[in-house]
Every structure is written in structure tokens, then in C-alpha cells.
Amino acid sequence: MKARYYVSPVAPQVPTGSMADIAFLLVIFFMLTTSFSPERTSVELPNSQIRTEVSKNAAIVAITQDGVLKFTDGERPSFTISESELGKLASEIIGFIPGKEFVIKADRSVRYEHVDKVLEQLRLNGAKKIGLLTDRRVGETI
């Protein structure tokens, strides 16, 4: 007598248990490798012949064409600030980091009195390293 064996058909399956783990690892990977840069305030910079490098961790005070002040310390997004608030913030930063460099990024059409007020606020509150951001003149090979 012949024995009959019944074999049930096996349906192909994709193991989905570890798929969530892989997705989670990919999310963590992209969060760690993505570098977020602070918001950039667009200004048309004046030209100059002599330029030096600005340190990467310098605090930036941007003066827009309308005379609006925006501040960023390089780690946080830029935010609008008044001249008096700028002085208070500068003194706090210098209290924590005495050698902190400040860079003024002023639009070329801004009246100089706005730039002078920012310079005075920074100087009065203890800033020792203050720079002005400029563009290199066209055709220059420095």
C-alpha cells in the first residue's frame, strides 16, 4: 500500500520584523550625518582690496538694506534684534567667551550711521575682535 503525503504549498514571505529596525537605523544615520547651517541673511556686500579669513565660530551681525539688524552666533538661526538688545547679548557672550570674534555683515547700500551704531554697541560692551565682511573686487587675484 502506498502512503500519500500531503504537502501544503509554501507561500514566499519577506521577513518584516527587522525592517522597522533598519528604517530606524537609517533615520538615525541621516540625522547624525546631515549638517544644518544657520539661516543666511542675504546682503550685497561692499568691495575691498584687502581681505582676511573669518573664523568659523564668529558671531555675525547682519544689517539688511532696510537697516534691520539680524544676529546669529553660528549655532542658532538668525533672529531680528534691536541695537540695545545687541549690546546686552554681546556682553553676555563676551562674559562666557572673552575672545569671541564679531563680524558685521552690512549691505553696501546701508547708511554708515547704522554700521557705526553697531560698532559702538559692540565696543562699549567689551568686544575686542570686530570685523567687516566684504567681497573681493572683480578681477582681483589676491
The strand pairing partners of 105, in sequence order, are: 62
- Reported confidence tier of residue 141, pLDDT bands at 50, 70, 90: low
Q: Identify the pLDDT of residue 137.
A: 67
Q: Identify the pLDDT of residue 26.
A: 92
Write the pLDDT tens digit of every residue in 4-57. Answer: 777 778 887 777 778 888 889 999 998 888 876 655 666 666 666 666 777 778
Q: What is the mean pLDDT of residues 46-70?
A: 80
Contacts of residue 35, Cβ cutoff 8 Å, sequence gap at least 6: none
Q: Identify the pLDDT of residue 33.
A: 85
HEC per residue, 54-96 = CCCCCEEEEECCCCCEEEECCCCCCEECCHHHHHHHHHHHHHH
Supply the pTM of this predicted model: 0.61
- Domains of the chain (ranges; CATH) run 47-136 (3.30.420.270)
Q: Grid coordinates standing for 96?
A: 562666557
Write the pLDDT tens digit of every residue in 79-132. Answer: 889 888 888 988 998 899 888 889 888 888 888 888 899 999 898 888 888 888
- Reported confidence tier of residue 138, pLDDT bands at 50, 70, 90: low
